[in-house]
Amino acid sequence: MISSAKQYSTNYFNTFIEAAEDCPVRDGASPPMKASITVARAEYEMIIENPYRYTSDDVVYATKGAPNGISRNAFFSKGQPCFRASALTKRYGWGVHHDNEGKVALYAIDSDEYRRLAADESVKHVRAMSNAKK
């Protein structure tokens, strides 16, 4: 049976998600290794090892939906947080570039490529969500 439920997406196209204004680091830092892998570490490994191979939806599902045994269809039948809410952009100093096909790559806040993308007017710019509670 084909589901007719609305499907949501975290994908952006030709967009650069800049690190949060209140990001506590000034250099891109890899999320620490822990006894059980964190979502941030899983996202980091998937993207840093495969720039522009996966879409945001691919990464979000692989790190949050699949490990919990949820089908991709069921997972995206509800809205999911995008990389604006990721610890990578809020805590660890990474920008996420989405190319014209929606494929993603990470750039450290202290890198030349981050600065180039942040200044590129042909790319849409959005900021990661603030860490501060209002």
User: Domain ranges in the chain?
Assistant: 15-127
In order, the DSSP letters of 74-128 are: HHTTS----GGGSHHHHTS-EEEEE-TTSBEEEEETTSHHHHHHHH-TTSEEEEP
One-letter identity of residue 121: E
pLDDT over 70 at 105, yes or no = yes
Mean pLDDT of 39-58: 97
Task: Give the pLDDT band of residue 132 (cuts 50, 70, 90).
Answer: confident
Q: Are 69 and 3 in contact (CB under 8 A)?
A: no
* This prediction's pTM: 0.91
Q: What is the pLDDT of residues 61-81, one digit of tens each?
A: 999 999 999 999 999 999 999
Mean pLDDT of 35-45: 94
pLDDT over 90 at 15, yes or no = yes
